[in-house]
Structure 1
Amino acid sequence: SATIAQEEIFGPVLSIISYSSIDNAIDIANNSKYGLSNYITCLDYDDGYNIAKRIHSGQSIINKIGRGSVPAPFGGFKLSGNGREHGKYGLEEYLEIKAII
């Protein structure tokens, strides 16, 4: 319920929030109207991957810092971002699809 956990904070900010279980941590992460990106630090990559699949955000970065892969699409879920940038999906943001039958 803390403001820092409910708003998109732009800047060099690290918030540390305690949790009682992995399910609780995922609930905390998903309990926001935003979902731009998240970082997961774990010992087992497969565990991190399974957690990432359950978090509602446009990008999950596991055991790394930075943006991730340049060709990978970037953009948020919920009220975050403006569509997708980069990669195939980023290009599609500039296209108008039309069917002619």
Structure 2
Amino acid sequence: MKIGNGYNNYLNAVRQNQTNAQNKELTTKPGHAEKEESVQVNISDAAKQLAKTNNTELPSAKIEAIKKAVLDGTYEVSPEKISGSMLETMKNQRK
């Protein structure tokens, strides 16, 4: 059975890409920017709404209390709550 040399091929390709990038930087004249193609990005309405809610909400008192308890070493983990939430999340993912 022959084992391929894929990892070495990968490393050689990475090194070649790095060398090519360095050579490209050296050959580009300072002050002369290359013309780049513009890219149009469309953000969905759901993503926009999510961004708004994430940016406007400040950490609540509950979150601050949890952070303080973790730093003090007094935070207690409830395995029942964690496993219940995990099961609920898995059930929702199947839907």
Tell which structure's C-alpha radius of gyration is larger.
Answer: 2
State the TM-score, normalized to the length of structure 2.
0.18
State the TM-score, normalized to the length of structure 1.
0.18
Which of the pair has the greater relative contact order for Cα pairs under 8 Å at 6+ separation? 1
